[in-house]
Amino acid sequence: MAISIRTYDIGCEPSPSIPAETLLQNGWATYLLFFAVSKTLNEAGKLDDLRVAVLKCDHCISARFGYPNDEGLPEHPLYSAMAETESNILEVVDSPWCDDLLSQIDASARRLRPDHYDKAWASRTMLRHFIILLKEKTFECIAESLAVERYADTFDAAFAYVLKRMNEH
């Protein structure tokens, strides 16, 4: 199947002008913090400031965060497919990265638990490849879903919220 890119709605978009994106991750949870704006223009023709989005990557098994920034995006291997979308929150359909990770997980399950191996497990696993285009970084992850858990007034408040959530595990 051919790789394709589609938009993924989380209710906001990363700010196109304020770089402050931050990834917080431990063994149990992955959160991305960024200044968020509305998806549509208000009556004055501007995007509404939604403050700091606290985005949770549900059941994230792998993540990468860094280059390319907005100027380097044309060098991303999926750029030609991404250029056709209007959103900065994307899902890669038929992702080779996702397929590779599922193959590794499947091989580990066969090796570690041959007596209990469930051949249909990988086909039931709902892992998806997401890309978020930010001002100074690109975030990609393999997860089940993405959702904004809340909007915080400041990065300090967003950090405090995430640290509390991570300590609950």
CA distances from 15 to 3, 25, 37, 40, 159 (A): 27, 22, 5, 12, 18
Report d(CA 13, CA 36) in Å as an integer. Answer: 6
CA proximity to 84, closest of 1, 168, 3, 6: 6
- The SS3 assignment for 100 reads helix
List the domain boundaries for the chain. Answer: 4-167
Q: Which residues pair with 25 in a beta bridge?
A: 30
In tens, the pLDDT along 49-72 reads 999 999 999 999 999 999 998 899
In tens, the pLDDT along 152-163 reads 999 999 999 999
The pLDDT of residue 102 is 84
